[in-house]
Amino acid sequence: MTQISTVNSGSRQIALHSITGEVTDSKKWATTEISGGGGEGVISNGSGYIKQDELKSKTTTHDQIIIRTADGQEESLKVEDLHLAVAQGHWVSFIRAIPSGWAKGPVVAILNHNTGSKYFIDSAIKEACGKSLIGIGTIVLLLYGIYVCYQSMLGYQIIQSRLILGLLLMAPCPVYYFREIRRYGAFKDQVSALCDQIKVSQAAPKSVSA
């Protein structure tokens, strides 16, 4: 694994590493989770009602690939709902993000040198970038703001001062999360640019297999 760059995400410094090799094994499968169904109700003397719960299903696509570097090192990665288009023999790079102070970090992106495709693992990007205590504070303010707004509407007349106070308490939360989305996006852009550099500097060889 080679360190290729160091970037900043807010106050967090993150080292980006890459490992590149040939795909020696690739698997794809899907699982389906079903929830709901059944129902509840009351029937008495031949009359009543039954309320049916909606039956829901969620299908998750899984990919697992194993790559082997030129020096024989192997690396395995399993991802969900990324819909990877890789085949045995393809030349692939994993981009791993290791925040300062961490011994290891998650794979945040995958680059297929043969197809030029880039895949970003959003959950791993959020993990690497981290969340600040400010985010927890804004959630507390949001919940308290909702409570104050609710209290302002009790009775026959809306208490305008409480309503305004509640809205002000709620305001920092969407602002904070908008900034977080921008921060994740900026980090993702930096990773994408590094993938482009790797693609140019490391052309896919015909094979690295023994």
pLDDT tens, 101-150? 999 999 999 999 999 999 999 999 999 998 766 777 888 888 888 888 88
Q: Please give the CATH topology (third level) of the domain spanning 1-33+60-130.
A: OB fold (Dihydrolipoamide Acetyltransferase, E2P) (2.40.50)
Handedness of CA 101, 104, 106, 109 (dihedral sign): positive
This prediction has a pTM of: 0.75
Question: What pLDDT sits at residue 37?
Answer: 63
Number of Cβ within a 10 Å radius of residue 77:
19
- The reported pLDDT for the residue numbered 48 is 64
Question: What's the pLDDT at 208?
Answer: 44
CA distance 8 to 188: 12
Q: What is the DSSP string of 150-186?
A: HHHTSSSS--HHHHHHHHHHHTHHHHHHHHHHHHHHH
CA-nearest of 97, 91, 89, 94 to 79 is 94
The domain ranges of the chain are 1-33+60-130
CA 12, 124, 82 angle in degrees (round to 5)? 150
| pLDDT given for residue 38 in this prediction | 62
Mean pLDDT, 10 residues at a time, the chain of 210 residues: 81 91 93 76 65 80 93 93 92 94 94 94 92 75 85 72 84 84 91 89 59
pLDDT given at position 132: 66
